[in-house]
Structure 1
Amino acid sequence: MGGRLQFTLNSWLSKKGSNKHENRDSCSVYLNHDVVFAILVDATDHGLNGIEFSSDWKNHLINLVKKQGNLSPAHIRMGIFNAHCMLRNKGYIHEKAAYAILVLDKKAGVGWTLNCGDCRVGGVNRNGDVLWLTPVHSAANAFGEEFTIKHAQSIERNSLTKCLRIRHFDEPAVSQFELDNYEMWCMATDGFWVDHVLLGEDITTLKDDASVLTLALSVGDINLQTDCANFEYINNTSAE
């Protein structure tokens, strides 16, 4: 699924849904001279500690990236597995989340995504068209078919077939792409890309949390439009 969206470059937009008691979307971005690393998490309503669950998991991966010299999808996948074990040890019994990870390797000229659930990463080309680079893991498209408006309208849409949860480790889907193919990238939770974009609902009246991050290779400052402290930005370029 692709499309044309209006984006503010290098921005984080996040809004709590009217049916939610707190905004459980969150995002972390880390960058140095060689790599841009971004994590988007959408914690479900399961459990009382969804925000802490997401934060602990993201922090584990950010610390890995800070220490790891050469990143690869295999390194990130192992980090996700180790973070999963960490969550188990902390006793997050009920909490669950969808997530997406974006890695932009400036030196190699390639990028990758890893995701579980219905958070998505898209590449935006020179014409402003969005090409979604990640699959959707939901019962609505259980056979892995492309997610369409028909799936968005299904009652099975919110049943995830893959997610972050301590009871079972779900393998993330991995994709790779050339950086030259895109001008920028976006990362969105389902409240944004399904309810707002696919179904055309007004973002001010959405029932679900809705969030979107936009990034270019030259990140610079991030413009924040959020209703809570759910964004972390670590710029390590000046420390090198």
Structure 2
Amino acid sequence: MRANFRMQRLFVTEALNCEQAIEANSDQFNYLANVLRLADGAEILLFNGRDGEWKAQLSYPTRKKILLTPKEQTRPQPSAPDLQYLFAPLKVGRMDYLVQKAVEMGAGVLQPVMTQHVQGKITNLDKLRANVTEAAEQCGILAVPRVEEPIKLKDLLESWPDDRRIIYCDEGDEGQNPIPTLSRIKETRIALLVGPEGGFSDEERHLLRNHPSVTPIPLGPRILRADTAAVAALAVIQASLGDWR
């Protein structure tokens, strides 16, 4: 069942059960009362990443308090997407865009990966997770992707499971078309790795190309920015191996 984009959606942390009211926190109160200016009796969609999506009724028991009462479930909770997105952090504005697009494109796990030429950094995982939640609110997603702690590329590869294939965008690949390479992949569990703006170092490229669970792909004849490459690679993977098939 597709999302209803005519109604506002709000992520909550509480359990969602019919007729069990939830009190909006201060940020939610400000958003609902002062930004959206919703009146008593207005309806809104709630989700928490566990209990599906619910149509809820808003009420003001006092001027400074909002209650959200789930009335009916509009969509059941789907399974979390299995696609993992591994990325070298970018500078703040572009990383926000990258994270939002990864959520929209069906990533189930977001894993920051620290590389030798990385230019961005993760200083606040809570902010990154809030960005993920906001993207899920806006694009109708119910299974909110998990955000992992940053890890060094070498450590990631050393502990990588044998049954999940890493596809990485290699700007040094001589080919232009990723489809033939993707069509030869047999694993159903996939991860995408996108490097930093400065690209992978020679040492990192050697580690990647010699790892048994890693497959490099090209992304055409043009040099793409890291955030553009991420969207392009996610699209071609979802079309070839993922949930667009």
| TM-score (structure 1 length as normaliser) | 0.24
**Largest Rg, 1 or 2:** 2
Structure with the higher strand share, 1 or 2: 1
Which one has more relative contact order, counting CA pairs under 8 Å at least 6 apart?
1
Q: Name the one with the larger helix percent.
A: 2
TM-score, L = length of structure 2: 0.24
